[in-house]
Structures are given as C-alpha cells and as structure tokens.
Chain A
C-alpha cells in the first residue's frame, strides 16, 4: 500500500528565512505533485515532478524529486507572509492516477 509522509506538520517561519518541507513515499510512483491550500479554499496545483532529478521553481518555491530515495522536497527561499498556507505533496497511486496525499504542512510566515 502506497503511503506518503510529510514533515514537518507545522512550520512557523520568520520572513526572509529559508526552510524545506520533506515528502517521503513508500513505493515507486511516476509522478509527484505539490499543492497549496489556503484556509477554506480548495487545492491549487504548484508543481508536478515527473522524473528522477526533476527540479521545478516558481518564485520563492522550488521542488525537487529523488525517485531512488522516494523523496521530494519543497524549498522556500526568503519566505514572505503571502506564502502562509498548507502545502500538500501527493503521489500517483496506480493505473487510475488517484492521488495519495501526505499529511500536509501548515506554514505560517511571521512578519
């Protein structure tokens, strides 16, 4: 059974600091997604990572994938308050492409 673990569960950061969110998954998958969720809102797609060594960057966020280690990271550079949200990683589970989600990381960026 495919399981996805994410840590930390909660991250309080100061503006301007850097930090990394980790996503581990238990079995082979060919795609990994990162989503953002604002309070009371739905999921917004940030990145899709398709292959080993893939790196995607958008603004202050950078995601990478190591399929051999079954690990993805979401790196936040020089955090700003607008990045405060919950971030989920999700791995494709099986031929139906259903998503198996991590527990989520609640990011709070303090001014």
Chain B
C-alpha cells in the first residue's frame, strides 16, 4: 500500500513569492498533520486536520501560513510572501483515529529554500 506522499520534494523560491505544498495521506486516514523541521527550531507542529476541518492551528507561525484539506484526503499548505526564515523541511503525517494506538506515518517531506 502507498504511504504518505508529498510534492514537490524540493522547492526553491524567491523571497516574497507564494508557495503551495501538497500532501496525500494514506487512504482512509482521517487525521492529517503538518510539521516543520528547521535547524533553529527543530521539529515543530503546525496544524492538525480531522476530516476537512482544522481544530488545531496553534502551530502556524504567522498569518502568512494557511492550510486546507479537501474531500477528507489531500491537503495543501500555503505560505504567502515567503521569508528566508520559512526555509525548512515541511513534513506531513497521517493517522487513523484510533485512540489506543494513534501512530502517525510521515511523508518524505518538502524541502523549501527561500532565497
């Protein structure tokens, strides 16, 4: 079975441009998470989706960051007016809503470089 996929794998952009990062979760996984991994901040949570709704957006660092999920499947993370500090690897993870053993499976990540 396919795992979590993300695209693009690498993205280089100029400061001030908008970027969209895509995540395809494992089929049937209703929970979806975005994380960011950077040298300065380590691995940090950004946003959580259950189905198409996002009950926890507490990790989004600024209003330049937004995300949506459609059809309970694909999610897009959008960063507007990118800044150099946005350079990081953006990881997506999905899981089943099983309280007892809620393992998250991670995608390969998108490496974003803002010049």
A96 to B35, CA, bound (A): 14
Which residues on the A side are within 8 Å of B35 (C-beta)? 99, 101
Instruction: Report how many A-B pairs have Cβ atoms within 8 Å.
Output: 52
Among the listed stretches B13-21, B40-48, B60-68, B79-87, which one makes contact with chain A, having 4 or more residues with CB under 8 Å of it? B40-48
Q: In the bound complex, what is the Cα–Cα distance between A14 and B93 (angstroms)?
A: 34
What number of B residues sit within 8 Å (CB to CB) of A?
A: 25
Q: How long is the Cα–Cα vector from A54 to B75 in the complex, in angstroms? A: 35
Of B55, B59, B102, most A-chain CB atoms within 10 Å: B102
Q: In the complex, what distance in Å separates the CA atom of A41 from the CA atom of B59?
A: 23
Task: Give the total of A residues in contact with B, Cβ under 8 Å.
Answer: 22
Q: Taking CB as reference atom, which chain A residue is nearest B104? A: A99
- A12 located at the interface, meaning its Cβ lies under 8 Å from any Cβ of chain B in the complex: no
Mask of A22-36 contacts with B, CB within 8 angstroms, 1/0 = 000000000101000
Q: B102 near A31 (CB under 8 angstroms)?
A: yes
**Chain B residues closer than 8 Å to A98, beta-carbon distance:** 33, 45, 48, 56, 59
* Residues in A whose Cβ lies below 8 Å from that of B107: 42
- Inter-chain CA distance A48–B45, complex, in Å, is 19
The answer on a CB contact under 8 Å between A97 and B102 is: yes
B101 touches A96 (CB 8 A): no
A residues at B contact (CB < 8 Å):
31, 33, 41-45, 48, 50, 88, 90, 92-94, 96-101, 103-104
Q: Which residues of B contact A (CB under 8 A)?
A: 31, 33, 35, 42-45, 48, 50, 55-56, 59, 91, 93, 95, 100-109
